Amino acid sequence: MTKPLLEALSLRPVPRPPVWVMRQAGRYLPEYRRLREQHSFQETVSTPELAAEITLQPVRRFAMDGAVIFADIMTPLEAMGVALTFDPGPRLSPLTLKEVAGLSPLVPDEVAHVAETIRRVKSEVSEETAVIGFAGAPVTLLSYLLEGGGSKDFIAMRAALRSEPVLAIEALANLSYSMSIYLSVQEEAGADVVQLFDTWAGLLDAAAYERFAMPAARSCLEGLGIPTIYFAPGAGHTLGVQQGVGATGYGVDWRVPITDAFHLLDGHPVQGNLDPAVLLTDPATIAEEVDRLLSRVGGRPGHIMNLGHGIDRRTSPENVAAFVEAVRS
């Protein structure tokens, strides 16, 4: 049996675009909320039985073409000695660039629970469903580490890259090394594809992106033997150089016209890029927007249908079902 997601990443024609949704395992599903009433977020991530169950919930409901592992981009940082809490986003004591550069490299045994989650999911999904692992890209992880949590502008990271560029590159290299180990662990456990999330790289100007974010992301993906996807929302101004990351395919957010993405990423598969807000409307509108997007794609090989960002927690499961059905029909 072929996996449509892998076929699309190989630029082979498929009867319809494969479809999955970023953050598809999570808060919009009532079965997830029921499970979380009994278990904390960190408990669910660190317990393979729970993490696998959460991963499988949307696959069972919607028969997605991809089963993205339930974890967090901060998960491997805990294995590097970073003390974290979630409330609901990550909270930690801010580090300096020197402290990030000195973090201990990730030890594979410390993320054995993620590997076990992947093995459990792999044994449960159909042969057509691709198991998707992921990691956070170095610039994005550095943003949280320097800030101590979430931020709208991550100005501490942007300032640090300019004030201490040599040390910043050293810190990013340390994160790249550990993320490459983390992704390799997921590959060895059976992941069919991995996605690198560079959520905050779009805050950088084009020159800083090329100097810092792009080479750090590339180092994470080098040497992997499975297809890879790179996704940097809000970074449309860098699409012309993103191929330097060396990924198999590239995700784009809803602000980038899909035709522009195919042009700028010539020769690479493109993932996306329906606005997540569309799923807060109604089934008829969803069908119209999906049709409009797929008309722009024009049947090109190498398109993976997804949202242009993670699914909003207020989305109704019925609207997700309408989205998937619209793609399939």
CA dihedral 43, 47, 53, 55 (to 10 degrees): 80
The answer for residues whose C-beta is within 8 angstroms of residue 287's C-beta and 6 or more apart is: 322, 326
Given the residues 23, 65, 120, 250, select the one marked as catalytic.
Answer: 23
Given the residues 16, 36, 61, 91, select the one marked as catalytic.
Answer: 36
Q: Are 287 and 252 in contact (CB under 8 A)?
A: no
Is 34 an annotated catalytic residue?
Answer: no
Is 27 an annotated catalytic residue?
Answer: yes
Is 314 an annotated catalytic residue?
Answer: no
Q: Angle 317-328/283-297 helices, nearest 10 degrees?
A: 40
Given the residues 28, 32, 120, 144, select the one marked as catalytic.
Answer: 144
Distances (CA, A) of 19 to 36, 64, 265, 273, 281: 26, 6, 20, 11, 19
Is 119 an annotated catalytic residue?
Answer: no
Is 296 an annotated catalytic residue?
Answer: no
CB atoms under 10 Å from CB of 197, counted, come to: 22
Given the residues 16, 27, 211, 218, select the one marked as catalytic.
Answer: 27
Whole-number CA gyration radius for the chain:
19
Given the residues 32, 33, 65, 72, select the one marked as catalytic.
Answer: 72
Q: What share of the chain is helix, strand, coil (3-state, %, to 5)?
A: 50, 10, 40
Measure the CA–CA gap between 249 and 226, rounded to whole angstroms. 12
Catalytically active residues, by annotation = 23, 27, 36, 72, 144
